[in-house]
């Protein structure tokens, strides 16, 4: 490795090993998408204002303090000089500067660090509130004498008592010491101006330096001498995060309660899907579900009596892909059917993963699916607080004060994301309580199984019972499911009842309306009693038998049904002939009327095959031509998430990637010598190829090669490396 100091960030990065480049890309993922073509492009993008701002925002409070301190220092400063400026531990400062170097926020070596211009500008025109190093720094004694001279000159020029003149000079110095070091002063570069103002007197005494025709700046050494007890404007930050000392108790009870919340949440989401299928909520013009439909959902789910807000449930279902907007209406998706078929634990894990990755943040006041809830920082905040929770033991009591202090140290930029209705932590804890991550005011064991692919301990898995097919029937006209029911059994029981409570054990209530609803779906009263007897472990109580029988006797006096197509003819004989064809779903309901479950156009084709040609008519009896079958309505597919870049593979390509100029030199050399060249390039699909080729010519940004007798054109920008063979 070269011992000559690098002349640029790109040259410095080119000397990094592959593993270190991969670490840089992991720390600053925006640099990997889209993938840079070479090290020069990587360095250029790493120093753009947007990328630098994002990288600084990802630092903890201590790292940000060190970053501002090195930005306030001149180039080639060392860790000792930075430690002196912030009065921090030298070893911690040295380690932090290496971490900043790993993120390409500074470059060079511990013998002298350099700071890119965009990093300095990220802390303002004067990082740390300090002016640049003076060309002729003053000693402390010289500064004291100059201040006295300025006060004396002001007193003489304005005929002011010496004490008052000294106070005015001190006031200007105090303001420039802790605020912006630059101030306005007309004709600052004119040496013949009299000291008629404190600033003019300080300029004449040499404590202020002109930085333009009408601006002056407080000398850097003057500000540092006056700053006590700290050197930078911000309060010193400890190098280590606040210690977490939680009270741990009742771990088993907290996790059991959390599992109960998790099961109840999945049941509520399942009921939400049923309600959405019935109501089909509409969206208002500005986005989000209409308030009327939201109230209907709340009433149908019984959430007006307490429980999680429907806003959160709808957002969870949307994030998990269980619902989607189609034609201005919210409908369940095909994924909802797949989700219903999962076990309780897998259902919950799908919901928790969707919640963590959702780019939306809700306080509960917004309409569900409203555009104003979209916040790109939401996944980072959720996962950041979850990281804190994973560092605590199961059963740790939630201490908002300790959690806030820990988060403020690790994520200082979150301060600007606080909401009007509460802090980020308060919102997270409220939703975590619904999701089962927090219960009884304590951290539950479910926190440990939120990571993708995390192994679920047997102790937690056993708390999620496998779906069963049996329940208890009680004389008070209720059914109790002590464990989650299979989707088919629960769907039928839901048809017969109203859900009274959810959780680890659901309670369902029978009444005339619920039994009547099942009868309207085609059940007969004896069938209901038989089905309940097959799935009840306590038999069918007599009050429930009476309720079913009585409701059945009153049901069916007036009947109606639906059909797809009807046929009518004036000839009863022809009607009987058509009925005798035994076409699927075709039945005769009167002498001259038949009905069929087949669409009209399909039925017309089937009858035509048997020699019966029909004319279509609308509800008013007007003749119509057969219409083409309509395509089934489908909810739109969600765009697939972009795969995470392979940082190791990208780093390996960059570390072996020549610059375009270097590749061009090798290709031109091969063409001149008519020698074989080993070329590696990437095609438009990102596939990497390597071959030994002969260069026909290099022209107009491309190389014309001959590979195994075939002619191939490769853009120079796609060439990874080229080396002339021996």
Mind listing the pLDDT tens digit for each residue in 505-556? 789 999 988 898 888 877 888 999 999 999 999 999 999 999 999 988 877 5
What is the number of structural domains in the chain?
A: 6
Question: What's residue 390's pLDDT?
Answer: 93
**Do 305 and 159 belong together in one domain?**
no
Of 421, 414, 347, give the one whose Cα is nearest residue 385: 414
Q: What is the mean pLDDT of residues 14-39?
A: 90
CA distances to 241, 412, 415, 425 from 381, rounded to whole Å, are 18, 12, 11, 9
Neighbours of 78 (CB within 10 A): 19
Give the residue with greater pLDDT, 700 vs 8: 8
Domain harbouring 59, CATH code: 1.10.10
Residue 383 located in a structural domain: yes
pLDDT band at 231 (very low <50, low <70, confident <90, very high): confident
Question: What's residue 637's pLDDT?
Answer: 46
Contacts 24+ apart (CB under 8 A), 139-146: 140/225, 143/207, 143/219, 143/221, 143/222, 143/225, 146/205, 146/206, 146/207
Residue 66 contacts residue 231 (beta carbons within 8 Å): no
CA distances to 386, 439, 466, 598, 641 from 451, rounded to whole Å, are 10, 19, 22, 49, 18
Reported pTM: 0.73
- 219-241 as b/e, with b when 16 or more CB fall inside 10 Å? bbbbbbbbbeeebbeeeebebeb
**Do 274 and 394 belong together in one domain?**
yes
Question: What's residue 212's pLDDT?
Answer: 87
Question: What's residue 46's pLDDT?
Answer: 95
Give the residue with greater pLDDT, 94 vs 250: 94
The yes-or-no verdict on residue 631 having pLDDT over 60 is: no
Burial of 95 (0-12, 13-18, 19+ CB in 10 A): middle
Measure the N-to-C terminal CA separation of the chain; round to a whole number of Å. Answer: 24
The yes-or-no verdict on residue 619 having pLDDT over 70 is: no
pLDDT band at 628 (very low <50, low <70, confident <90, very high): very low
The yes-or-no verdict on residue 173 having pLDDT over 60 is: yes
**Do 294 and 387 belong together in one domain?**
yes
Residue 672 located in a structural domain: yes
Question: What's residue 43's pLDDT?
Answer: 92
Compute the distance between CA of residue 166 and CA of residue 239 in angstroms, rounded to an integer: 40
Question: What's residue 51's pLDDT?
Answer: 95
Question: What's residue 453's pLDDT?
Answer: 75
pLDDT band at 623 (very low <50, low <70, confident <90, very high): very low
Question: What's residue 385's pLDDT?
Answer: 94
Give the residue with greater pLDDT, 95 vs 376: 95
Compute the distance between CA of residue 268 and CA of residue 262 in angstroms, rounded to an integer: 10
Residue 260 contacts residue 503 (beta carbons within 8 Å): yes
**Do 25 and 84 belong together in one domain?**
yes
**Do 13 and 105 belong together in one domain?**
yes
Place of tokens 């449930």: 313
Residues 6+ apart with CB under 8 A from 701: 715, 716, 717
Of 177, 155, 159, give the one whose Cα is nearest residue 168: 155
**Do 194 and 98 belong together in one domain?**
no
Compute the distance between CA of residue 185 and CA of residue 199 in angstroms, rounded to an integer: 7
Neighbours of 672 (CB within 10 A): 10
Which of 357-371, 416-430, 467-481 reaches the highest mean pLDDT? 467-481
Residue 616 located in a structural domain: no
Compute the distance between CA of residue 348 and CA of residue 465 in angstroms, rounded to an integer: 13
Of 410, 365, 363, 360, give the one whose Cα is nearest residue 385: 410
Residue 394 contacts residue 444 (beta carbons within 8 Å): yes
Give CA angle at 550 (546, 553), nearest 5°: 145
Residue 651 contacts residue 25 (beta carbons within 8 Å): yes
Token pair listed for 304: 């007006």
Residue 379 located in a structural domain: yes
pLDDT band at 658 (very low <50, low <70, confident <90, very high): low
DSSP 345-361: HHHHHHHHHHHHH-SB-
Which of 535-549, 559-573, 616-630 reaches the highest mean pLDDT? 535-549
Domain harbouring 714, CATH code: 2.30.30.100
Compute the distance between CA of residue 484 and CA of residue 502 in angstroms, rounded to an integer: 10
**Do 171 and 118 belong together in one domain?**
no
Question: What's residue 15's pLDDT?
Answer: 87
Q: What is the DSSP letter of 591?
A: T
Of 720, 715, 711, give the one whose Cα is nearest residue 701: 715
Helix axes 310-319, 291-301, angle to 10 degrees: 100
The yes-or-no verdict on residue 305 having pLDDT over 60 is: no
- The beta strands (E) that lie in 569-614 are given as 586-590, 593-596
Question: What's residue 441's pLDDT?
Answer: 93
The counts of H helices and E strands in the chain are 29, 23
Q: What is the mean pLDDT of residues 460-487?
A: 89
Give the residue with greater pLDDT, 682 vs 547: 547
Residue 290 located in a structural domain: yes
Question: What's residue 431's pLDDT?
Answer: 93
Of 431, 307, 436, 334, give the one whose Cα is nearest residue 373: 431
Question: What's residue 97's pLDDT?
Answer: 96
Question: What's residue 326's pLDDT?
Answer: 87
**Do 383 and 263 belong together in one domain?**
yes
Compute the distance between CA of residue 58 and CA of residue 648 in angstroms, rounded to an integer: 21
Residue 457 located in a structural domain: no
Residue 541 located in a structural domain: yes
Residues 6+ apart with CB under 8 A from 632: none
Choose one of 87, 110, 129: the last residue of a domain. Answer: 129
The alpha helices in 247-320, defined as continuous H runs, are 251-279, 291-301, 310-319
pLDDT band at 445 (very low <50, low <70, confident <90, very high): very high
Find the domain containing 351 and state its range. 251-447
The yes-or-no verdict on residue 140 having pLDDT over 60 is: yes
**Do 280 and 374 belong together in one domain?**
yes
Residue 372 contacts residue 286 (beta carbons within 8 Å): no
**Do 147 and 68 belong together in one domain?**
no
The yes-or-no verdict on residue 592 having pLDDT over 50 is: yes
**Do 538 and 498 belong together in one domain?**
yes
**What integer best gives the mean pLDDT of the chain?**
86
Q: What is the mean pLDDT of residues 259-283?
A: 90
**Do 335 and 409 belong together in one domain?**
yes
Residue 630 located in a structural domain: no
Token pair listed for 181: 């070091």
pLDDT band at 662 (very low <50, low <70, confident <90, very high): confident
Question: What's residue 2's pLDDT?
Answer: 54
Q: What is the mean pLDDT of residues 146-151?
A: 92
Residues 6+ apart with CB under 8 A from 416: none
Question: What's residue 627's pLDDT?
Answer: 40
CA distances to 46, 571, 597, 606 from 579, rounded to whole Å, are 78, 13, 14, 13
Question: What's residue 633's pLDDT?
Answer: 40
């Amino acid at each position: 490795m070269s011992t000559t100091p690098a002349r640029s960030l790109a040259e410095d990065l080119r000397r990094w090993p592959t593993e270190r480049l991969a670490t840089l890309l992991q720390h600053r993922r925006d640099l990997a998408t889209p993938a840079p073509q070479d090290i020069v492009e990587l360095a250029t993008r790493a120093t753009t204002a947007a990328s630098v701002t994002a990288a600084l925002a990802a630092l903890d409070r201590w790292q940000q303090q060190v970053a501002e301190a090195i930005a306030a220092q001149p180039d080639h400063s060392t860790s000792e000089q930075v430690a002196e400026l912030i009065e921090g531990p030298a070893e911690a400062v040295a380690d932090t500067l290496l971490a900043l170097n790993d993120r390409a926020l500074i470059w060079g070596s511990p013998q002298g660090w350099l700071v890119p211009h965009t990093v300095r500008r990220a802390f303002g025109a004067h990082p740390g509130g300090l002016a640049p190093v003076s060309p002729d720094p003053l000693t402390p004694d010289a500064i004291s004498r100059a201040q006295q001279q300025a006060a004396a000159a002001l007193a003489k020029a304005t005929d002011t008592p010496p004490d008052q003149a000294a106070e005015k000079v001190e006031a200007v110095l105090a303001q420039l010491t802790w605020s912006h070091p630059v101030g306005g002063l007309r004709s600052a570069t004119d040496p013949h101006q009299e000291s008629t103002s404190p600033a003019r007197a300080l300029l004449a005494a040499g404590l202020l330096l002109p930085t333009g025709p009408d601006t002056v700046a407080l000398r850097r050494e003057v500000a540092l001498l006056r700053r006590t007890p700290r050197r930078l404007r911000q309060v010193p930050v400890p190098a280590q995060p606040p210690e977490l000392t939680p009270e741990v108790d009742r771990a088993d009870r907290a996790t059991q309660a959390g599992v109960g919340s998790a099961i109840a949440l999945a049941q509520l989401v399942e009921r939400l899907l049923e309600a959405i299928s019935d109501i089909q909520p509409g969206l208002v013009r500005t986005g989000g579900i209409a308030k009327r439909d939201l109230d209907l959902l709340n009433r149908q789910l019984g959430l007006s009596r307490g429980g999680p807000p429907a806003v959160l449930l709808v957002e969870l279902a949307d994030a998990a892909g269980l619902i989607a907007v189609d034609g201005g209406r919210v409908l369940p998706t095909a994924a909802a059917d797949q989700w219903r078929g999962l076990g309780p634990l897998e259902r919950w894990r799908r919901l928790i993963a969707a919640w963590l990755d959702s780019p939306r943040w809700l306080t509960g006041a917004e309409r569900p699916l409203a555009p104003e809830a979209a916040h790109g920082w939401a996944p980072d905040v959720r996962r950041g607080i979850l990281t804190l929770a994973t560092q605590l033991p199961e059963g740790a009591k939630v201490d908002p004060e300790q959690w806030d202090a820990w988060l403020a140290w690790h994520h200082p930029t979150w301060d600007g994301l606080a909401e009007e209705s509460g802090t980020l932590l308060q919102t997270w804890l409220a939703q975590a309580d619904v999701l089962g991550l927090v219960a009884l005011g304590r951290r539950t064991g479910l926190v440990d199984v939120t990571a993708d692919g995390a192994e679920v301990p047997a102790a937690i898995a056993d708390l999620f019972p496998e779906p069963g097919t049996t329940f208890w029937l009680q004389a008070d006209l209720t059914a109790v499911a002590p464990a989650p029911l299979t989707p088919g059994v629960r769907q039928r029981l839901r048809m017969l009842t109203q859900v009274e409570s959810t959780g680890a054990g659901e309670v369902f209530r029978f009444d005339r309306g619920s039994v009547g609803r099942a009868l309207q779906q085609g059940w007969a009263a004896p069938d209901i009693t038989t089905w309940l007897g097959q799935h009840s472990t306590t038999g069918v109580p007599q009050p429930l038998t009476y309720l079913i029988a009585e409701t059945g006797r009153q049901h069916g006096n007036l009947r109606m049904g639906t059909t797809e197509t009807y046929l009518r003819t004036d000839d009863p004989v022809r009607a009987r002939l058509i009925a005798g064809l035994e076409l699927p779903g075709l039945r005769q309901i009167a002498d001259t009327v038949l009905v069929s479950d087949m669409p009209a156009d399909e039925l017309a084709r089937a009858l035509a095959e048997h020699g019966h040609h029909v004319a279509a008519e609308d509800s008013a009896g007007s003749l119509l031509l057969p219409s083409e079958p309509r395509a089934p309505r489908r909810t739109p597919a969600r765009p697939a998430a972009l795969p995470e870049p392979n940082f190791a593979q990208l780093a390996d390509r960059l570390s072996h990637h020549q610059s375009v100029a270097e590749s061009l030199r090798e290709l031109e050399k091969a063409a001149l010598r008519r020698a074989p060249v080993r070329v590696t390039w990437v095609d438009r699909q990102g596939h990497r190829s390597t071959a030994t080729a002969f260069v026909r010519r290099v022209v107009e940004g491309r190389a014309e090669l001959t590979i195994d007798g075939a002619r191939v054109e490769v853009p120079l920008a796609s060439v990874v490396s080229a080396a002339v063979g021996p």
